[in-house]
Structure 1
Amino acid sequence: MHSDRTDRPHRPHRPDHPDRTANLLGAAALAVTDLVLAAARARGVGPSAAAALVVLSAAPGITVTELGRRVGLSQSAAVRMVDGLAAAGLAERGGGPGRSVAVRLTAGGRTSAADLLAAREAVLSDALADLSEEDREALTGPLSRLLASLYGRIGDTELICRLCDRGRCTTGAPCPVGAAARAAGDR
């Protein structure tokens, strides 16, 4: 049997309804994520590789296993990702502690990471371009509290911040995710 919108009960539109706020947040989060990932794909890398380049630019010489943890990949998937980065001339392996293998960006990898962060910044700035400066400033507090709350659920600063421009986040104020980790005694 065919059902269309007229068969559903009408729910009045309430702009302050929390379900609407959650829905708007979900749509905005997915749209921004899609735009950021499209910018990465336009530069020839997928989401995990983009995150790996950004992570390695901030933490050169971490092990393959640690890199995988920070970008949300299993150890075997991280090895395959590093293989791809090395084949593309973006990363290289070296000795790490014990039998572990450390990963560092090549000059091309550092350039790619900087390009990815610049593209991310452009996407995010463009997404906020239609908001007034007052609206943008008004978002800072709620977004900081939301990130701190999300840290409480996810519990991993590196995973949450895997595509962050860390210099921007810590200029003028502490990173809300790092502050939440310190408050929880995790740092």
Structure 2
Amino acid sequence: MQPRCGACMQLTGSMNRRERNQALQANKLGAMWAVLDRAISGALEDYSPSSAAILLWLSYWPPMSVSELGKVLSLSQPACSRAIDRLAASGFVRKSHSGSRETLVEILAAGRIEAMRLQTQRLSTLSAMLSTLAKSEQAEFTNLLNKLLAGAVENRADARHICRFCDHGVCDGPFCPVGCRATQIEQSAQGDDRG
């Protein structure tokens, strides 16, 4: 489909071949986001992305405070609290007070089962998308994906946010380009502090 507006045609017409190819790749990457968003939204059913991320995150990590969870999800404390309250009403999580003023959130057995179900659906949906690639293409795609993911990380908080839906039992340690990059950044900062 060709752009119809004059301004669009003028913009693309003024690009050299390299710029046009980069714009085309970026455009396709943006379109892929729409495809992934639709697929993941379908896999997560009626859950909001925040509620699903809370269940999935807590299924791998120990109880954490509402404010810590909000940082992982990039949600305000009140928005995070509302999502947690909905999950608590369903019997999936429980809020409790720690010795300090913070409220801790922990996943319950029913929540762990629901998180496993959602994670299975999520991974199955995304695996089906990958099955359109040949085995050699999948290996190449994995290498490229690792580079793109690592390149998006600026700090540990970024890493946690990027990986909020991940199956940490599968993608952990040296298999996680996001966590590895966050560790490299932290080690580099420690080296700079010592030097």
Fold shared by both chains (TM-score > 0.5): yes
Aligned partner of 1:112 in structure 2 is 114
Where 1:18 maps in the other structure, the secondary structure is helix
The separation in 1 between residues aligned to 2:5 and 2:41, in whole angstroms, is: 37
Aligned partner of 1:158 in structure 2 is 160
Aligned: 1:17 with 2:21: yes
Mean CA deviation greater in 150-159 or 81-90:
150-159
User: Which residue identity is paired with 2:124?
Assistant: A
The separation in 1 between residues aligned to 2:78 and 2:5, in whole angstroms, is: 51
User: Over residues 93-123 of structure 1, what are the superposed CA-to-partner deviations in whole Å (9 max), with x where a residue is unaligned?
Assistant: 1232411111111211101110111011011
Where 1:81 maps in the other structure, the secondary structure is helix
User: Over residues 11-42 of structure 1, what are the superposed CA-to-partner deviations in whole Å (9 max), with x where a residue is unaligned?
Assistant: 59x798111111111111221122112211x2
Is residue 32–residue 127 contact of structure 1 (8 Å, CA) maintained in 2? no
The separation in 2 between residues aligned to 1:134 and 1:102, in whole angstroms, is: 45
Q: Give every structure 1 segment of 4 or more consecutive aligned residues whose post-TM-superposition deviation is greater than 4 Å.
A: 9-12
The separation in 2 between residues aligned to 1:117 and 1:164, in whole angstroms, is: 8
Aligned partner of 1:33 in structure 2 is 37
Aligned partner of 1:135 in structure 2 is 137
The structural deviation recorded for 1:170 is 2.6
The separation in 2 between residues aligned to 1:154 and 1:22, in whole angstroms, is: 26
Aligned: 1:124 with 2:126: yes
The structural deviation recorded for 1:138 is 0.2
How many positions carry a matched residue from both structures?
A: 181
The structural deviation recorded for 1:78 is 1.0
Aligned partner of 2:75 in structure 1 is 73
Residues 1:60 and 1:22: Cα distance change in structure 2 (over 3 Å): same
Percent of matched pairs sharing the same residue? 33
Residues 1:153 and 1:28: Cα distance change in structure 2 (over 3 Å): farther
Is residue 65–residue 102 contact of structure 2 (8 Å, CA) maintained in 1? yes
Residues 1:84 and 1:6: Cα distance change in structure 2 (over 3 Å): closer
Where 1:23 maps in the other structure, the secondary structure is helix
Is residue 155–residue 182 contact of structure 2 (8 Å, CA) maintained in 1? no
The separation in 2 between residues aligned to 1:94 and 1:117, in whole angstroms, is: 25
The separation in 2 between residues aligned to 1:120 and 1:87, in whole angstroms, is: 23
Where 1:130 maps in the other structure, the secondary structure is coil
Aligned partner of 2:193 in structure 1 is none
Q: TM-score by structure 1 length?
A: 0.86
The separation in 2 between residues aligned to 1:148 and 1:32, in whole angstroms, is: 19
Is residue 90–residue 109 contact of structure 1 (8 Å, CA) maintained in 2? yes
The structural deviation recorded for 1:174 is 3.1
Residues 1:77 and 1:138: Cα distance change in structure 2 (over 3 Å): same
Q: TM-score by structure 2 length?
A: 0.83
The separation in 2 between residues aligned to 1:113 and 1:6, in whole angstroms, is: 47
The structural deviation recorded for 1:150 is 0.5
The separation in 2 between residues aligned to 1:33 and 1:6, in whole angstroms, is: 28
